[in-house]
Amino acid sequence: MLPTPSDNVDFLEATYRKIFPQDLEFRDRAVAHLEQLTMPHWALGDLMDLAVDLAGMTRSLKPQVKRKKVVVMVGDHGVTVEGVSKYPSEVTAQMVYNFVAGGAGINALARQAGADVVVVDMGCATDLSELAKPGTILSKKIGTGTQNIAHGAAMTRTHAVMAVEAGIEVANQLAPDVDVFGTGDMGIGNTTPSTAIVATLTGKSLDELTGRGTGLDDEQLDHKKKVLERILQINKPDPRDGLDVLAKVGGFEIGGIAGLIIGAAAHRKPVVVDGFISTAGAMIACKLEPFVRDYIICAHRSMEPGHGAMQEKIGCRPLLDLNLRLGEGTGAALAMNLLEAAVAILTEVATFADAGVSGPPVS
Amino acid sequence: MLPTPSDNVDFLEATYRKIFPQDLEFRDRAVAHLEQLTMPHWALGDLMDLAVDLAGMTRSLKPQVKRKKVVVMVGDHGVTVEGVSKYPSEVTAQMVYNFVAGGAGINALARQAGADVVVVDMGCATDLSELAKPGTILSKKIGTGTQNIAHGAAMTRTHAVMAVEAGIEVANQLAPDVDVFGTGDMGIGNTTPSTAIVATLTGKSLDELTGRGTGLDDEQLDHKKKVLERILQINKPDPRDGLDVLAKVGGFEIGGIAGLIIGAAAHRKPVVVDGFISTAGAMIACKLEPFVRDYIICAHRSMEPGHGAMQEKIGCRPLLDLNLRLGEGTGAALAMNLLEAAVAILTEVATFADAGVSGPPVS
């Protein structure tokens, strides 16, 4: 049994203690099997690496990947008043209704991949109780949007802990019916906190990391960089302390994503991490408990310039590179097909011996 | 009605005349629709470009992509006696039996993508009539492997024409039940003719283009380059004449792939081109009839160093980059999921107006 926040223990600490690295024996067994398949050595490249990872995560040579859920964490951001996004904050809630109606990009791509979409209100500025009460969405609302990080911390440290805990709780709640988790986000303005997170945790310059988000022009991009400079100066997040970074320059949905990833790792389930905002959550998760890295699959490389720096920092090469910049978990849904493909290679391809195919000469 | 080789016309010429560029009006209509979807402008990047291509190819805003077939063209190569591959020629036929039994990489990945596998004997050195007679595979056998191209032409010009015609016939036969074609290949030794083709058609150096195929070591790679130098010196293929290139340094399966692509274009069906050998076929097809380019989707960038030069030459950016080097159509099968995803975006996502989501400010 995994702990719950109501247990008389430190919930986060207790969850971290459930997280172990990938199993080396299952990795080795997967490698040994893949090397016998009727094809030149490692001829399916990254798919075979992925198959080994899945075996190591799930402790199985027949990893289950059929039951897939993309969890879209929703939160609003006080910093939008600074004019860092092309879209107004109201769009966050409007998009939640769009998710529920099945009309968003993530709905279309999740259907294609055979994945369910689960929407979680972590901190939308709008009252979504009419969706939460009947269970159409999950409510883990910590607050009605973060504070404006251009003036101070996004949230208290307590709220940061609560956001991560809430993400873990979502993972715990869904895990019995899930083989593979995907992360997604919705929150107008959330490339700004994500950029602040990657700047803090990599030490790279804002010039290098700051991107156009939903489509800023040159002047707006310049303004966003100036706002980000102020954010870092005012908040001085401590790069050694993941909760401090989340509290000072993060977001409720980013904390939820971090928690979901931690929870997935505690359940030894692969978690496909989407784009820039999701990977900001993954950076926080890795800071809190480095072993979660072993359960993370980076779906794609997005168009945000800071995304590559994030993936380099957590040490994960993305599967896809399709110039996506939507979020919502869309890249994660796309990549789920590749997880199925990797498992198909591991479980369905004949060996040289089975198929009576001549192998290469042993030298 | 498309012509057949028995018609009293030049079959190739008549087929070329059925090939038109993508429809610009459907492309424009697809762009106009995609720009209204509830997401930042073109936020799904390459998937949206792909959706526009599919609309332009199929003359539809609801392109059909459900019925998918990967056609694996099979041929043997006389040049294998020069020691250019790690595997013996017998493996070509052994792999055909593996395909038929469903145990190869392409079988696993086609199942994942919901695609059928169709195997065509274009020129296997082994008698496959026990598979061809009951219709388990298609037989378009032109010969029992090519001549050794290190000593002279691979085949006569007549056989080159017959190979391309056979590929078109396969496309014609399958087209009524296919929305999307994929190309695949099986033929031990076939990276050597493919390298000769790309060297001829791009003028780039063999040092730049020659790769390890199924896994040559440094010494074997060096030997393969020397054999390729001889192949080009002896044959002097004419880069202005696709049939000359195919006849002198090609292969029966490569001609079949070229024909399949031409046939797909004549039926206005998208054709997902796999790796190095398939793209050699695509280069021949584009040389014979440049408008086929508009129906080609490049599945992936393989590990063969010449693959990028091929894709650059035909002007097509690959969708995936997963360090694959198997062939068989495996990359094409993987990419078919992305075609479905592109169509899902085009047909299933709500517009700003439909969903009541606020768009960006019009400036």
pLDDT in tens, A337-352: 999 999 999 999 999 9
The verdict on a CB contact (< 8 Å) between B109 and A43 is no
Residues A40 and A83 in one domain: no
Rounded CA-CA distance B311/B282 in Å is 9
Indicate whether A259 belongs to any domain: yes
Active-site positions of B?
328
* Amino acid A361: pLDDT: 66
The span from the CA of B20 to the CA of A22, in Å, is: 53
Residue B201, min C-alpha distance to chain A (Å): 26
Residue of A nearest to B212 (CA): A40
DSSP state string for B137-193: SEE----SS---TTTS-SS-HHHHHHHHHHHHHHHHHHGGG-SEEEEEEE-TTTHHH
Q: How far apart are the first and last CA of chain A?
A: 51
Query: What's the one-letter identity of residue B325?
Result: R
Cβ-nearest to A360 among B86, B321, B323: B86
- The predicted structure's pLDDT at residue A75: 98
The predicted pLDDT at position A345 comes to 98
- The answer as to whether A297 is a domain residue is yes
**CB contacts, 8 Å: B97 with chain A:** 355-356
The predicted structure's pLDDT at residue B358: 87
B134 has a chain A CB within 8 A of its CB: no
Bridging pattern class, strands B68-75 and B180-186: parallel
A340 is catalytic: no
Tokens standing for residue A304 = 């945000």
Under 8 Å between Cβ of A324 and A16: no
Tell me if A206 sits within 8 A of A195, measured CB to CB.
yes
pLDDT at B138: 98
Residues written for chain A: 363
Residue A335 has, within 13 A of its CA and on its CB side, a CA count of 36
Q: How many domains does chain B have?
A: 2
Q: What is the CATH number of the domain that holds B53?
A: 1.10.1610.10
Write out the two tokens for A359: 């192998």
Tokens 């602040």 found at: A196
Residue A235 lies in a domain: yes
Cα separation, A297 vs A319, in Å, equals 8
pLDDT for the residue B361: 66
pLDDT (tens digit per residue) in A161-188: 999 999 999 999 999 999 999 999 999 9
Q: Do residues A215 and A331 share a domain?
A: yes
In this predicted structure, the answer to whether residue A1 has a pLDDT above a threshold of 70 is no
**Does A348 sit within 8 Å of B44, measured CB to CB?**
no
- Using the predicted structure, report yes or no on whether residue B4 has a pLDDT greater than 70: no
SS3 readout for A97-149: HHHHHCCCHHHHHHHHHCEEEEEEEEECCCCCHHHHCCCCCEECCCCCCCCCC
Radius of gyration of chain B (CA): 20
Percentage of chain A surpassing pLDDT 70? 97
pLDDT at B349: 98
Query: B107 to chain A: which residues are within 8 Å by CB?
Result: 348-349
Q: Which chain B residues are within 8 Å of A86, Cβ to Cβ?
A: 40, 360-361
Report yes or no: A353 at the B interface, CB cutoff 8 Å: no
Q: A85 and A146 in one domain?
A: yes
Distance from CA of B304 to the nearest CA of A (A): 11
Q: What average pLDDT does this structure show over A213-225?
A: 94
Question: Tokens 């991560």 label which residue?
Answer: A164
Tally of CB atoms within 10 A around A318:
21
The answer to whether residue A5 sits within a structural domain is no
Q: Give the distance, in angstroms, between the CA of residue A147 and the centroid of all CA atoms in the same chain.
A: 23
- Residues B242 and B348 occupy one common structural domain: no
The pLDDT value recorded for residue B157 is 97
- CATH number of the domain that residue A255 is part of: 3.40.50.10210
Q: Which among B323, B334, B343 is the top mutation candidate for probing chain A, defined by the most A β-carbons within 10 Å of its own β-carbon?
A: B323
- Clarify whether residues B96 and B222 are in a common domain: yes
B214 touches chain A (CB under 8 A): yes
Cβ-Cβ contacts under 8 Å for A50 (sequence gap 6 or more): A297, A319, A338, A339, A342
E strand map for chain A: 68-75, 115-123, 138-139, 180-186, 271-273, 296-298
- Taking an 8 Å cut-off on Cβ atoms, the answer to whether B109 and A350 are in contact is no
Q: Which two tokens stand for residue B327?
A: 């062939």
- Which tokens is A29 given? 């067994």
The per-residue pLDDT for B107 is 98
- Domain that includes residue B334, residue range: 68-338
Q: What's the average model confidence in pLDDT over A282-293?
A: 98
* ipTM > 0.85 for the complex: yes
Task: Suggest the residue from B52, B126, B349 to mutate for an interface test with chain A (most A CBs closer than 10 A).
Answer: B349
pLDDT at A332 over 90: yes
Which one-letter amino acid corresponds to residue A148? N
Asked, for residue A4, whether it belongs to a domain, the answer is: no
Instruction: With beta carbons under 8 A apart, name residues in chain A contacting B356.
Output: 94, 97
Both A142 and A286 in a single domain?
yes
**B21 and B142 share one domain:** no
- The answer on A84 and A131 residing in a single domain is yes
Mean pLDDT on B122-148: 97
Whether A112 contacts chain B with CB within 8 A = yes
The arithmetic mean of pLDDT across residues B153-163, rounded, is 97
Asked which of A265-269, B40-44, B211-215 is least confident by mean pLDDT, the reply is B211-215
Compute and round to an integer the Cα radius of gyration of chain A.
Answer: 20
Q: Mean pLDDT, to the nearest integer, of A236-262?
A: 98
A84 in the same domain as A23: no
Q: What is the pLDDT of residues B288-303, one digit of tens each?
A: 999 999 999 999 999 9
Q: Is A66 on the interface with B (CB under 8 A)?
A: no
Asked whether residue B72 falls in the same domain as residue B60, the answer is no
- Band (pLDDT 50/70/90 cuts) for residue A5 is low
Q: Do A344 and B95 touch (CB under 8 A)?
A: no
> Would the CB atoms of B45 and A355 count as touching at under 8 Å?
no
The pLDDT confidence band at residue A84, using thresholds 50, 70 and 90, is very high
Cα distances from B131 to residues B21, B119, B128, B260, in angstroms, run 38, 10, 6, 21
Question: What is the number of CB-based contacts under 8 A between chain A and chain B?
Answer: 195
Model confidence pLDDT, tens digit, residues A105-128: 999 999 999 999 999 999 999 999
Q: Which of the residues A301, A339, A358 would you substitute to probe the B interface, choosing the one with the greatest number of B C-beta atoms within 10 Å?
A: A358
Q: Measure in Å the smallest separation between the Cα of B244 and chain A Cα atoms.
A: 31
Specify whether A90 is located in the same domain as A46: no
Confidence at residue B360, expressed as pLDDT on a 0 to 100 scale:
73
Ramachandran angles phi, psi of A206, nearest 5°: -65, -30
Whether residue A220 lies inside any domain: the answer is yes
Token pair of B253 as six digits = 């399966």
Rounded Cα–Cα distance for residues A317 and A300 (Å): 8
Q: Which of B46, B320, B344 sits opposite A323 (nearest CB)?
A: B46
Q: Where are the beta strands (DSSP E) in B214-338?
A: 271-273, 296-298
Reply yes or no on whether the pLDDT at A252 is more than 80.
yes
Please name the member of A43, A111, A213 whose beta carbon is closest to the beta carbon of B325.
Answer: A43
Average pLDDT value over all residues in chain B: 96
Q: Are A149 and A231 contacting, i.e. CB atoms less than 8 angstroms apart? A: yes
Whether A308 maps to a domain, the answer reads: yes
> b/e for B43-78, b at 16 or more Cβ within 10 A?
bbbbbbbbbbbbbbbbebbebebeebbbbbbbbbbb
Same domain for B245 and B127, yes or no, is yes
Strand, coil or helix: B121: strand
- CB B344 to CB A108 under 8 A? yes
- How much is the pLDDT for A13? 96
Q: What proportion of chain B, given as a percentage, has pLDDT over 70?
A: 97
pLDDT confidence of residue B129: 97
Give per-residue pLDDT as tens, B9-59: 599 999 999 999 999 999 999 999 999 999 999 999 999 999 999 999 999
Question: Domain for residue A1, yes or no?
Answer: no
Closest-CA distance, B145 to chain A, in angstroms, reads 19
Dihedral of CA A175/A178/A179/A184: which sign? Answer: negative
